């Protein structure tokens, strides 16, 4: 008997070639009716034998289109049939109520790449895409996902493109951003003053790059600054112009073979480098001294081409380029043509522009490959705004994240939707972009938060924003302790919902006692936490000053142990800083692991002034040699356990002051000691409370030396260790934890 079924498909089904896929798939079944994008995902009416409908939906559920994420299919049988004579894609309904999800931008597919090299309307077309590839998140203004609601709206399809768009057998059937050289967006090349040059824009770009010049290239989620890597003076010039003194640049290589000439690449790393997300993967250099002007440490951030434009730039002699986000200092990535020409004059020598607008900024993602999986440091292009599917439905919430590595997270149904990388809110422009992005996400997903979560820190701009928004919307504001949020974030990342031990190590987080925390051992879940152990408090002479001038931390640590700081730090103001410590003038207390790293790094003579966040720790990790040596630590165990590292500091001091120390070995010994101490304390907590699951979160766990040792050590003690793989261990991942804690309060 013929039945008519109203079917709702939820998940990421828009902008991923879902309707054309359905249209093709249905020809294998005797089903008539229609499919359309709707505000709730995709909607279908299926008319046919019940068995056919069942088999069709089974196939759809098990083999959905490559980029789709189907979370549920709801079927409602109707009492009357409609007598459809065929199966059609019909016009989207536009409603205000939207709940569908947006696909991230993905790299160009093989078919488009091949077509771009063939004679025809898309020969060297710089924006070639199809239903399986191309921009999504960065061009969508509103849902449902239709061309009219993207930045492709001004480009009217030519008859041939339109024919493909409406031809069921074409790979561009309903590919919203489709176009060709006749009807699509155009590229153009400008000199440093913004004057358009005649000639092929790609060839001009290549010529500029060959000549050792720096070109600003418009990409998917913003501009890159590109320059050759084989001449160190180009990197130096770029650093000088960008005011980026020491922070490493990412590079883009033509292919994996080229990457292998510079870095070690495991099979897993190769797989993730080539994945359609195309993140920047931090890879170990073949030799530590390779490309020092690009990266001062043992790793280089490498990505492969992901847009048609990148592929054309690398098509002949150019093999590798610096590809760094085009911004000035820590401001948001530049994404508009005029902004680029104004803000980057004096930085870029030329501009490869286009008249296709970027609606949402989205930086490149940065990951390590750890445990065969992505270990995100920055979750952005390619991943964002992919949702994280939670076990239970969540109320509509907004979590406002931290400050320096800001991000936010919204929830809707079973989804937590973390934002892309936003950056440091202390920059006015970044803060504006943060607010704009929150508004965009709220509008896009039509989320009306019932509660807002923020950090406990009273001075975070995200806290102030959350506070004013909660007042404006007249809804509760939940202030979440920083390290509790890290713990919850790692729990959510691993689908845990039970009491766990959290080793939460980072630089700075506001504690419930008013001190700065960051070397924490917590026991907790989404509902609450106890602080069972922490790194002994250290004085931060000068407060924030000690975070940049990390020599101050070195002096503080030595002073704490009663050692002569002037024997290590010869600068004339060492005495003044000692006095400041002695008199306790502006010396807030911190248990931040990052501060301990800073101090040790300074004492070992690795770094005295941090040019970027975490530099001391990063260089300390880079300097560590393979050694099993361990130094001393003590745990005072009355009430909350206190981890005291004085013995380690004293040993290091002794070797530094008594002749020629093996700095690499001391770095390793320091890290080994921390691994031992962490495992020791976690085991004690486990024995006492009968909890065996341990989560690792906080920026310190971006240290691969520790990550390659601590989990094994914990496992050997009978504990189960969980780490991040979907959001960052650093503060960028914090919002997910805030959201989960907020959902339970």
Bridge partners of 509, per DSSP, are 517
Nearest distance, CB of residue 136 and Zn ion, angstroms: 12
Residue with tokens 């008199």: 583
Nearest alpha-carbon partner for 722 in 686, 682, 694: 694
Number of separate helices (H) and strands (E) present in the chain: 23, 30
Helix axes 551-560, 574-583, angle to 10 degrees: 50
In the complex, the smallest distance separating the C-beta of residue 453 from Fe ion, rounded to whole angstroms, is: 15
**Given the complex with Zn ion, which of 171 and 595 has the nearer CB atom?**
171
Q: Minimum distance from CB of 526 to Zn ion (Å)?
A: 41
HSE-up of 466 (CA within 13 Å, CB side)? Answer: 35
Q: How far is the CB of 161 from Zn ion (least distance, A)?
A: 3
Return the SS3 of 197: strand
Residue 89, binding choice from Zn ion, Fe ion, none, Cβ under 5 to 8 Å by partner class: none
Find the binding residues for Zn ion in span 110-139 (CB under 5 A).
112, 130, 132-133
Rounded Cα distance between 19 and 303, Å, is 32
**Residue 701 to residue 723: CA distance in whole angstroms:** 9
The reply to whether 282 sits near Zn ion by the rule CB under 5 A is no
CB 112 to Zn ion: min, Å: 3
Question: How far is 197 from 277, CA to CA, in rounded Å?
Answer: 33
Residue 731 lies near Fe ion (rule: CB under 5 A):
yes
310 vs 534, beta carbon nearer Zn ion: 310
CB 483 within 8 A of CB 523: no
47 or 731: whose CB is closer to Fe ion? 731
Contact between 635 and Zn ion by CB under 5 A: the answer reads no
Q: Which of residues 10-49 bind Zn ion (CB under 5 A)?
A: none
Q: Which is nearer to Zn ion, 161 or 367 (CB)?
A: 161
Nearest-approach distance from CB 359 to Zn ion, in angstroms: 21
Among the residue ranges 182-190, 233-241, 386-394, 503-511, the one whose residues contact Fe ion (CB under 5 A): 503-511
d(CA 528, CA 488): 10
**Partner from Fe ion, Zn ion, none binding residue 461, C-beta < 5-8 Å depending on class:** none
Compute the distance between CA of residue 675 and CA of residue 216 in angstroms, rounded to an integer.
Answer: 43
- Nearest-approach distance from CB 434 to Fe ion, in angstroms: 17
Comparing C-alpha atoms, which of 472, 451, 469, 464 is closest to residue 397?
A: 451
Rounded CA-CA distance 291/289 in Å is 6
Beta bridge partners, 544, equal none
Shortest CB 679 distance to Fe ion, Å? 21
Binder of Zn ion out of 158, 256, 290, 635 (CB under 5 A): 158
Interaction mask 673-712, Fe ion, x per CB under 5 A: ----------------------------------------
Give the residue nearest to Fe ion (CB): 506
Nearest to Zn ion of 122, 412 (CB atom): 122
Relative orientation angle of helices 593-603 and 551-560, to the nearest 10 degrees: 90
Shortest approach of Zn ion to residue 106 CB, angstroms? 9
DSSP letters for 364-397? PPEEEEETTEEEEEE--TTTTT--EEEEEEE-SE
CB count within 10 Å of CB 296 equals: 16
- What does 130 interact with, of Fe ion, Zn ion, none (CB < 5 to 8 A by kind)? Zn ion
Binding range to Fe ion, per CB under 5 A, among 362-370, 412-420, 500-508, 539-547: 500-508
Is the distance from CB of 228 to CB of 238 less than 8 angstroms? no
Q: Which does 506 bind (CB under 5 to 8 A by kind): Fe ion, Zn ion, none?
A: Fe ion
Nearer to Zn ion, 127 or 370 (CB): 127
Query: Is 109 near Zn ion (CB under 5 A)?
Result: yes
Would you tell me how many other CB atoms lie within 10 Å of the CB of residue 521? Answer: 25
Instruction: Give how far Cα 466 sits from Cα of 405, 478, 654, Å.
Output: 16, 9, 49
Nearest to Fe ion of 269, 732 (CB atom): 732
Q: Give, for 47, the enclosing helix (H) or strand (E).
A: strand 41-49
Q: Give the binding-site size for Zn ion (rule: CB under 5 A).
A: 10
CA–CA distances in Å: residue 187 to residues 181, 201, 331: 10, 7, 25
Rounded to a whole number of angstroms, the minimum distance from the CB of residue 304 to Zn ion is: 16
* DSSP state letter for 140: B
Residue pair 225/251 in contact (Cβ under 8 Å)? The answer is no
User: Does 220 interact with Zn ion (rule: CB under 5 A)?
Assistant: no
Record the tokens describing residue 56, joined without a space: 């069709």
Cβ atoms within 10 Å, residue 639? 8
**Which 575-604 positions form the footprint of Fe ion (CB under 5 A)?**
none
Q: How far is the CB of 173 from Zn ion (least distance, A)?
A: 12
- Compose the 252-271 pattern: x for residues touching Fe ion by CB under 5 A, - for all others: --------------------
Candidates 374, 344, 380, 67; CA nearest to 223 is 344
CB of 509 to Fe ion, least distance (A): 5
Tell me whether residue 651 or residue 738 sits nearer to Fe ion (CB atom): 738
Only one of the segments 8-16, 335-343, 506-514, 667-675 lies at the binding site for Fe ion (rule: CB under 5 A); that segment is: 506-514
User: In the chain, what is the greatest distance between 2 CA atoms, to the nearest angstrom?
Assistant: 93
Burial class (CB in 10 A: 0-12, 13-18, 19+), 649: buried
Using CB under 5 A as the binding rule, whether residue 506 contacts Fe ion is answered as yes
Q: Judged by CB, which is closer to Fe ion: 509, or 614?
A: 509
Shortest CB 508 distance to Zn ion, Å? 44
Contact 97, 40 (CB under 8 A): yes
Binding mask 161-200 for Zn ion (x = CB under 5 A): x------------------x-xx-----------------
In the bound complex, what is the minimum distance in angstroms from residue 741's beta carbon to Fe ion?
A: 15
CA separation for the pair 190, 224 (Å, rounded):
15
Spell out the alpha helix ranges (H) of 446-563: 461-473, 482-493, 545-548, 551-560
User: What six digits make up the tokens of 230?
Assistant: 């084989």
CB of 21 to Zn ion, least distance (A): 14
Contact status: 520 vs Fe ion (CB under 5 A):
no
- 483 and 509 in contact (C-beta within 8 Å)? yes
From the list 306-314, 369-377, 609-617, 726-734, the region that binds Fe ion by CB under 5 A is 726-734
731: partner contacted, choices Fe ion, Zn ion, none (Cβ within 5-8 A by kind) = Fe ion
Is the CB of 177 or the CB of 599 nearer to Zn ion? 177
- Give the β-pairing of 529-535 and 641-644: parallel
| Candidate ranges 87-95, 120-128, 727-735, 736-744; the one touching Fe ion (CB under 5 A) | 727-735
Instruction: Choose the one of Fe ion, Zn ion, none that binds residue 109, judging by a C-beta under 5 to 8 angstroms depending on kind.
Output: Zn ion
- Stretch of residues binding Fe ion (CB under 5 A), selected from 113-121, 142-150, 650-658, 731-739: 731-739
Instruction: List the x/- string, 197-236, binding to Fe ion by CB under 5 A.
Output: ----------------------------------------
- Give me the residues that bind Fe ion (CB under 5 A), please: 506, 509, 731
- Give me the residues that bind Zn ion (CB under 5 A), please: 109, 112, 130, 132-133, 158, 161, 180, 182-183
């Amino acid at each position: 008997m013929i039945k008519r079924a109203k079917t709702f498909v939820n998940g990421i089904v828009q902008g991923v070639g879902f309707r054309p896929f359905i249209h093709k798939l249905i020809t294998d079944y005797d089903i008539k009716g229609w499919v359309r994008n709707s505000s709730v995902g995709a909607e279908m009416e299926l008319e046919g034998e019940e068995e056919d409908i069942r088999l069709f939906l089974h196939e759809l559920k098990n083999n959905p289109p490559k980029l789709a994420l189907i979370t549920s299919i709801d079927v409602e049988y109707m009492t009357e049939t409609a007598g459809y004579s065929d199966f059609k894609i019909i016009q989207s309904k536009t409603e205000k109520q939207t709940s569908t999800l947006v696909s991230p931008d993905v790299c160009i597919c093989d078919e488009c790449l091949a077509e771009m090299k063939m004679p025809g309307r898309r020969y060297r077309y710089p924006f070639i895409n199809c239903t399986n590839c191309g921009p999504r998140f960065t061009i969508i203004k509103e849902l449902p996902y239709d061309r009219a609601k993207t930045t492709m709206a001004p480009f009217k399809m030519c008859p041939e493109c339109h024919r493909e768009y409406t031809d069921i057998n074409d790979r561009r059937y309903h590919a919203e951003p489709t176009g060709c050289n006749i009807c699509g967006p155009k590229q153009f090349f400008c000199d440093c003053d913004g004057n358009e040059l005649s000639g092929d824009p790609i060839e001009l770009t290549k010529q500029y790059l060959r000549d050792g010049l720096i070109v600003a290239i418009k990409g998917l989620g913003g501009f890159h600054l590109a320059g050759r890597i084989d001449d160190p003076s180009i990197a130096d010039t770029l650093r000088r112009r960008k005011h980026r003194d020491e922070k490493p640049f990412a590079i883009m290589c033509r292919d994996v073979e080229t990457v292998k000439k510079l870095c070690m690449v495991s099979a897993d790393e190769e797989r993730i480098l080539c994945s359609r997300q195309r993140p920047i993967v931090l890879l170990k250099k073949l030799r530590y001294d390779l490309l020092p002007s690009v990266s001062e440490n043992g790793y280089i951030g490498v990505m492969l081409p992901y847009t048609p434009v990148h592929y054309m730039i690398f098509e002949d002699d150019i093999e590798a380029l610096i590809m760094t986000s085009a911004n000035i200092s820590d401001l948001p990535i530049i994404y508009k043509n005029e902004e680029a020409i104004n803000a980057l004059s004096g930085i870029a020598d030329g501009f490869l522009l286009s008249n296709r607008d970027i609606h949402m900024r989205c930086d490149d993602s940065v990951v390590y490959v750890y445990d065969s999986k992505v270990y995100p440091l920055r979750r952005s292009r390619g991943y964002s705004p992919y949702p994280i599917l939670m076990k239970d439905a969540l109320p509509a919430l907004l979590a406002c994240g931290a400050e320096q590595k800001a991000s936010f997270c919204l929830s809707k149904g079973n989804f937590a939707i973390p934002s892309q990388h936003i950056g440091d809110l202390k920059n006015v422009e970044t803060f504006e972009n943060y607010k704009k992005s929150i508004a965009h996400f709220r509008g896009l997903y039509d989320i009306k938060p019932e509660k807002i979560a923020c950090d406990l820190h009273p001075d975070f701009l995200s806290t102030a924003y959350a506070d004013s928004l909660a007042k404006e919307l007249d809804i509760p504001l939940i202030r979440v302790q920083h390290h509790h949020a890290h713990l919850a974030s790692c729990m959510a990342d691993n689908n845990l919902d039970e009491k766990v031990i959290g080793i939460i190590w980072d630089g700075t987080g506001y504690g419930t006692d008013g001190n700065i925390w960051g070397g924490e051992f917590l026991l907790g879940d989404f509902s609450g936490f106890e602080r069972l152990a922490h790194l002994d408090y250290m004085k931060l002479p000068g407060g924030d000053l000690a975070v940049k001038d990390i020599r101050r931390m070195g002096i503080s640590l030595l002073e704490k142990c009663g050692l002569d700081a002037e024997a290590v730090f010869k600068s004339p103001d060492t005495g003044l800083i000692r006095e400041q410590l002695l008199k306790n003038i502006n010396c807030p207390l911190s248990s931040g692991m990052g501060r301990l790293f800073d101090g040790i790094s300074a004492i070992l003579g690795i770094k005295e002034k941090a040019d970027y966040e975490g530099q001391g720790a990063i260089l300390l990790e880079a300097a560590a040699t393979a050694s099993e040596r361990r130094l001393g630590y003590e745990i005072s165990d009355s009430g909350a356990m206190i981890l005291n590292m004085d013995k380690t500091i004293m040993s290091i001091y002794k070797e530094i002051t008594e002749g020629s120390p093996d700095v690499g070995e001391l770095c390793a010994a320091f890290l080994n000691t921390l691994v031992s101490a962490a495992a020791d304390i976690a085991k004690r907590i486990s024995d006492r409370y009968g909890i065996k699951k341990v989560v690792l979160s906080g920026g310190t766990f971006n240290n691969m030396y520790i990550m390659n040792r601590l989990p094994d050590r914990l496992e050997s003690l009978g504990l189960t260790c969980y780490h991040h793989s979907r959001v960052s261990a650093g503060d960028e991942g914090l919002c997910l934890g805030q959201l989960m804690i907020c959902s339970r309060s």
